[in-house]
Copies of this chain bind each other. A is one copy, B any other.
Amino acid sequence: MSELSEETRRLLELTSTATLTTQLFKRGLRNTFVQGVRRLTPGAPVMVGEAFTLRMIPAREDLDHPGMFTDRSHPQRRAIEECPAGAVLTIDARKDIRGGSLGDILIARLMERGVAGVVTDGALRDTPQIEPLAFPVYAGGAAAPASFGIHHAVDLDQPIGCGDVAVFPGDVLVGDAEGVVVIPRHLADEVARDAAEQEQLESWILREVKAGRGIFGLYPPDEEARARYQSWREGLHER
């Protein structure tokens, strides 16, 4: 699959997840917002990147213990070194937040490697160390226990569920302070473009509302409002 274009990436960085879910809804996709996660890093930039996935099933005591990480083929450790720069490491942790999917050392390595962010529907550990990072990290909670007590990592780059949303490798994930939306890869360009349009219209509507106008005829705009918006917009571009 071709890379995400610079233009699409730029537009998505300027667009809220709220607007993106509306654009996806208009295309018949109602279930695109990762449920139950929040951003743990308030100072992070907007996250835009293609999904690289890690899947975890429940742990089994004879298989899952600290010793297993010496094995270089362990999928959790491979995920850290193989997730491409610019991609989002997206983890199916079955919404189990009793232990951390990852901790601060692995997050630091992902940052070093230029990964775009991390999303897990499980918890993270070492969150006091993670919180100040300028790196987008989304999780269902904070929990000190290590992953091996709860999870058994099984595979990489397969379709997964994350926070009740289907995520296919290559889907585009966008995250802001509200949360994370999953855009099917083939829709990314058109959704980005239309969402940017919608953002501009809505910023004008908000301006009008703050100037004291009521919402009837304005939000959504009727023909007259749309005309006013167009002239405002043209005025903007002329300046």
Contacts and interface: CB of A to CB of B under 8 A. Distances in A.
Contact of A144 (B21, B62, B72, B108): B21
A18 B60 contact: no
Interface in A147-196: 148-149, 152, 154-155, 158-161, 164-167, 176-179, 181, 184
A206 interface: yes
A29 B62 contact: yes
Interface stretch (A6-14, A83-91, A211-219): A211-219
Contacts of A16: 126, 128-129, 144
A158 B161 contact: no
A104 B206 contact: yes
A74 to B, nearest CB: 10
Contacts of A232: none
A33 interface: yes
Interface residues of A, number: 85
Contact of A146 (B18, B77, B112): B18
A185 to B, nearest CB: 12
Contacts of A200: none
A108 B166 contact: no
- Count the copies: 6
Interface in A89-122: 94, 98-100, 103-106, 108-109, 112
A143 interface: yes
Contacts of A112: 209-210, 212
A215 to B, nearest CB: 5
Contacts of A17: 144
Contacts of A20: 144
A220 B178 contact: no
30 contacts: A18-B103, A18-B126, A18-B146, A21-B144, A21-B145, A26-B66, A28-B62, A29-B62, A31-B59, A31-B61, A33-B143, A33-B144, A69-B219, A70-B220, A70-B222, A77-B215, A77-B216, A81-B214, A81-B215, A94-B161, A105-B205, A105-B206, A106-B219, A108-B206, A108-B210, A109-B214, A126-B178, A127-B177, A128-B176, A143-B179
10 tightest A-B CB contacts, nearest first: A128-B177, A17-B144, A57-B161, A18-B144, A21-B145, A18-B125, A58-B166, A21-B144, A60-B166, A108-B209
